[in-house]
Amino acid sequence: MKALDELTFDNRFARLGDTFSAHVLPEPIDNPRLVVASPAAMALLDLDPAVAETPVFAELFSGHKLWAEAEPRAMVYSGHQFGGYTPQLGDGRGLLLGEVYNEAGEHWDLHLKGAGQTPFSRMGDGRAVLRSSIREFLASEALHALNIPTTRALCVIGSDTPVWREKQERAAMVLRLAHSHIRFGHFEYFYYTKKPEQQAELGEHVLAMHFPECLEQPEPYLAMFREIVERNAEMIAKWQAYGFCHGVMNTDNMSILGITFDFGPFAFLDDFDAHFICNHSDHEGRYSFSNQVPIGQWNLSALAQALTPFISVDALRETLGLYLPLYQAHYLDLMRRRLGLTTAEEDDQKLLEQLLQLMQNSGVDYTLFFRRLGDESAELAVARLRDDFIDIKGFDAWAELYVARVAREGEVDQAQRRERMHAVNPLYILRNYLAQNAIDAAESGDYSEVRRLHAVLSNPFDEQAGMGSYAERPPEWGKHLEISCSS
């Protein structure tokens, strides 16, 4: 294990120069202190978890100290926000401190969010508040534990620095990790500003650093775009399968690597609602739960437009045509497993759609239904679950089809069924009310609940002794929390 001063830097993006980013030093926050750290994320950098409790840890990730080899940069990019193009965005409150590589040879960006003003802050103060930092930390690590591609979160550092949102709050910083922080909006920026040389330089950098296998193909850019389409199809399939709502799927919030990126007003479904809107600011429901699939395709189309200097329009259209079939295949495969099915039948999609409609009409808890479905045999499970439904007759008809479908799979050992289903159906998810309880305690100076919740969510599939309250349906107030982009 390494100490903090033993990290090895290789600042590849910074070497692209000032056209791609601006050199900015982080602005320190007052009286920095550790709120929570992720030992699993620290292990990606070969760091000893014990260093999180040292004063220098809080100083490094609060802007008070900087590695000599670090080269903090604020990236420039643009993007489509709620469907409209914004010519210049950029890191308005975040800094890429540098890139480090671990003993396995993996490169990781160290990105400090809430680090102060940059040339791209526009009217913002460049700060992040404690609540938003805690939410991003918990979501990053919770999604990873669910096997959903995501940025990782190393730590949250709190402070006494006042900031103003709807009310006065305290500033915090979250250190996030990713193999790259390059977004769809990076390519859009150089495309729409008509800088073909810089766009080609960006493309060559992305190919060499993140898609080297594509360089072996006859058309490297096309091969890269296909990989991006495939990764996004799989990621969004996992979002839909586990009821995750991103909330702000702007193209500047879409990672070139196909990982969940830039957490804001996200939410996991409590009661199943295909039309759920998690972002209080999304008045028209552009980024509702059911719209995430078509918006994913829309965003890929925006990236495709930016790549027209390198790829023919016909090839781009053909590759975009892969998105929906790939999504559907990934989604149905995962949902079959969530239903305890190990084989494929033609009517499985219909069986699933009927179930989701029944859940929608009855306000059934999405996570707990699938968990309880695997607790015992199909016959006993549906008998216990039927009381959750308003349309009992409709559920009984579905249950009959489901039990027969399971029976066609042949003799099943119930212990194996339970183990197999519980391995893909979490008991614990990051419900908004659980996050809010942890935030309320943290804002009062008690970080124990944030740390406890993080520990529970790091192992979502296994029942944990004494943690039953984290697996309960939320109270009514917990289902109606309003989360906006400032969250």
pLDDT tens profile 258-304: 999 999 899 999 999 999 999 988 889 999 999 999 999 999 999 99
The answer to whether residues 162 and 146 belong to one domain is: yes
Residue 484 confidence (pLDDT): 62
The answer to whether residues 179 and 57 belong to one domain is: yes
* 366 pLDDT above the threshold of 60: yes
Coil, strand or helix at 144: helix
> How many structural domains are present in the chain?
3
CA distance 20 to 22: 7
Residue 353 domain-assigned (yes or no): yes
- Residues annotated as part of the active site: 252
Average pLDDT, integer, range 344-357:
98
Residue 480 domain-assigned (yes or no): no
The answer to whether residues 240 and 145 belong to one domain is: no
Residue 478 confidence (pLDDT): 78
The answer to whether residues 261 and 380 belong to one domain is: no
The answer to whether residues 268 and 376 belong to one domain is: no
* 363 pLDDT above the threshold of 80: yes
**Residue burial 137-161, b: 16+ Cβ < 10 Å; e: rest:** bbbbbbbbbbebbbbbbbbbbbbeb
Q: In this structure, what are the phi and psi dihedrals at residue 150, rounded to the nearest 5 degrees?
A: -160, 160
CB-based burial label for 353 (10 Å; 0-12, 13-18, 19+) = exposed
The answer to whether residues 146 and 165 belong to one domain is: yes
Residue 88 domain-assigned (yes or no): yes
The answer to whether residues 363 and 322 belong to one domain is: no
Tell me the per-residue pLDDT of 417-472, one tens digit each, with 9 for 90 and over: 999 999 999 999 999 999 999 999 999 999 999 999 999 999 999 999 999 999 99
- What the block records as the tokens of 250 is 């702007």
Last residue of a domain, one of 422, 449, 477: 422
The answer to whether residues 22 and 146 belong to one domain is: yes
- Name the residue range of residue 169's domain: 4-184
The answer to whether residues 121 and 162 belong to one domain is: yes
The more confident residue out of 1 and 442 is: 442
- DSSP H helices, 28-113, are 39-43, 55-60
Q: Is 363 left (phi over 0), alpha (psi -120 to 50) or beta?
A: left
Banded model confidence at residue 487, pLDDT cuts 50, 70, 90: very low
* 171 pLDDT above the threshold of 90: yes
Tell me the per-residue pLDDT of 374-412, one tens digit each, with 9 for 90 and over: 999 999 999 999 999 999 999 999 999 999 999 999 877
* 485 pLDDT above the threshold of 60: no
The answer to whether residues 10 and 140 belong to one domain is: yes
What value does the mean pLDDT of the chain take? 96
Residue 470 confidence (pLDDT): 97
Residue 84 confidence (pLDDT): 95
Residue 378 domain-assigned (yes or no): yes
Residue 319 confidence (pLDDT): 98
* 212 pLDDT above the threshold of 90: yes
Tell me the per-residue pLDDT of 240-259, one tens digit each, with 9 for 90 and over: 999 999 999 999 999 999 99
**What torsion, rounded to 10 degrees, do the Cα atoms 112, 114, 117, 121 define?**
100
Last residue of a domain, one of 362, 395, 422: 422
Q: In this structure, what are the phi and psi dihedrals at residue 176, rounded to the nearest 5 degrees?
A: -115, 155
Residue 438 domain-assigned (yes or no): no
The answer to whether residues 105 and 20 belong to one domain is: yes
Residue 459 domain-assigned (yes or no): no
Last residue of a domain, one of 169, 184, 199: 184
Residue 97 domain-assigned (yes or no): yes
Residue 111 domain-assigned (yes or no): yes
Average pLDDT, integer, range 119-146:
96
The answer to whether residues 164 and 238 belong to one domain is: no
